[in-house]
Structure 1
Amino acid sequence: MGRVIKYEGGAMDTATAEKLKAFVRGDLTWSEVEGMTFEEAKAIAQVGCDLAAAGRYEEARILFEGLVEGNPKDSASRAALGTVYQKLGRLEDAVTEYCAALERDPSNPVALVNRGELYLRQGNRQGFTDLANAVEADPKGETSAGRRAKALVRAIALAAAEKLQVDPRAKA
């Protein structure tokens, strides 16, 4: 993987200068300036996921923070970084990343289910909406996030039904 930004003295080529100007204007991400391909970013993200699955959250954090820094528009990397922050107990940072992921992709099931769970733990009713949207985003439960969302919705519904049966005041 060759990189665009290699300064070895002398004048910078016009294409590189234009890419840098576009980055400064906000028209390109750093990943685009450097020429990182989707496949390269996906491979790095997979390593981050593998590290997280092995419980190596600090190392996963470093990779996902790098991916997000290089391309803040990448919803999947932002959701993955949020997940790592959540595992590290950095809950405010996790919510921030989930919100950023959802700005780009409002139907990102990972961001929806994880933010929904965190919101519910905080007593924020938006969590119910997030979980419902996560189920809607993956109605067949093809992703682990979609299956988790369905399980959480089912558990909440069962708990509510049990409360209605046990608490005679709830029937009134």
Structure 2
Amino acid sequence: MTTEPKAVVPTETPSPLSGPEKLERAMTGFQAYEQGRYTDARDVFLDLVERDPTEGYYRTALGAISLAMDDLDSALEHLDAALRLNSQDTAALVNRGEVHLRLGNIMTGARDFALAVAMDPENKDPLTERARLLAAAALQSAEEAQLVDAEGSEEG
């Protein structure tokens, strides 16, 4: 029997942050996002998600960042997670709708936009206006696709 020391496996869990510290980091991440520094913003929000997986805003932010980086699969994953945490998150709905549009899931995207619009009947949230515009574009795309299909069927 040998008495060699066993390898120590680091079990680093991030130390808890206070509410103000989380807010400060989230603001730093948001500023990085606004400045187009998406990798920096993603790193901030990934750390925040690890520290507090119950806060939907961090997932919404990661979804928006992934969308801006054209990582649509990751965006969808984060936005779905955000909506599981808060089904009333209009930012997550509008961004997920846009992801679906880019993936060609026009009707699914339109459904997300309709949900966002329904949550703001007085049109107070700027995101709702974006949802209205994207919903109109989605419906127009769907109608155009139906016309092309109908013309193709008549020719065939």
TM range (shorter): 0.7 to 0.9
Distance (Å, rounded) in 2 between the aligned partners of 1:156 and 1:90: 21
Alpha-carbon distance, 1:56 to partner: 0.8
> 1:79 is matched with which residue?
60
Do the aligned residues in 1 keep the contact of 2:56 with 2:85 (CA within 8 Å)? yes
Distance (Å, rounded) in 2 between the aligned partners of 1:55 and 1:63: 14
The match for 1:105 among 71, 86, 101 is 86
The match for 2:138 among 156, 159, 167 is 156
Distance (Å, rounded) in 2 between the aligned partners of 1:36 and 1:75: 17
Same amino acid, percent of matched pairs: 33
Alpha-carbon distance, 1:115 to partner: 0.8
Deviates more, 1:124-133 or 1:92-101: 124-133
Distance (Å, rounded) in 2 between the aligned partners of 1:35 and 1:50: 19
| Per-residue deviation, residues 4-49 of structure 1 (Å, max 9, x unmatched) | xxxxxxxxxxxxxxxxxxxxxxxxxx78x72521x33222212211
Structure 2 unmatched ranges of 5 or more: 1-12, 152-156
> 1:57 is matched with which residue?
38
> 1:143 is matched with which residue?
125
Q: Which one-letter code corresponds to 2:51 in the other structure? A: G
> 1:129 is matched with which residue?
111
Give the TM-score normalised by the residue count of structure 1.
0.68
In the TM superposition, structure 1's runs of 4+ consecutive aligned residues that sit over 6 Å from their partners are none
Alpha-carbon distance, 1:52 to partner: 0.8
Distance (Å, rounded) in 1 between the aligned partners of 2:93 and 2:46: 20
Do the aligned residues in 1 keep the contact of 2:116 with 2:131 (CA within 8 Å)? yes
Give the TM-score normalised by the residue count of structure 2.
0.74
> 1:95 is matched with which residue?
76
Do the aligned residues in 1 keep the contact of 2:49 with 2:59 (CA within 8 Å)? yes
Q: CA RMSD in A?
A: 2.6
Structure 1 unmatched ranges of 5 or more: 1-29
Residue 154 and residue 73 in structure 1: after superposition, are their counterparts in 2 closer, same or farther (change >3 A)?
Answer: same
Distance (Å, rounded) in 1 between the aligned partners of 2:28 and 2:122: 27
